[in-house]
Amino acid sequence: MSNNSKDTIYIGKKPLMTYVTSAIIQLATQPLVTIKARGLTTAIAIDVAQVVLKKTHPAFQIEDVRIGSEALVASDGRNRDVSTIDISIKRTAA
């Protein structure tokens, strides 16, 4: 999989539907889109994926879900591990 930013959506603090819309737009031209999040926004990433699937049913499906952790330097200078999630969505085979 290429690491092109066009096929990746990073979940931040915008409203849920912002990411849902971005994902659906990208899936119109890309074969696979990956939704990435870390920390508490991992829960939002799952919501985004579920809303995308529901709104476009049955056009797309979950390809893969990966979880992991990443070392971050917190504002107090200490290392903290945060959990990450990557959810890949692809077009359902016709």
**Contacting positions for its own copies (CB under 8 A):** 39-43, 46-47, 49-50, 54, 62, 65-69, 81, 83-85, 87
Give the shortest CB-33-to-its own copies separation in angstroms. 15
Give the shortest CB-67-to-its own copies separation in angstroms. 5
Cα–Cα dist 89/42, whole Å:
16
Residue 34 or 42: which CB sits closer to its own copies? Answer: 42
Residue 14 or 69: which CB sits closer to its own copies? Answer: 69
Cα–Cα dist 75/29, whole Å:
39
Cα–Cα dist 35/2, whole Å:
14
Q: Where are the beta strands (DSSP E) in 1-94?
A: 8-10, 32-38, 60-73, 79-91
Residue 78 or 94: which CB sits closer to its own copies? Answer: 78
Give the shortest CB-89-to-its own copies separation in angstroms. 11
Do 24 and 55 form a contact (C-beta atoms < 8 A)?
Answer: yes
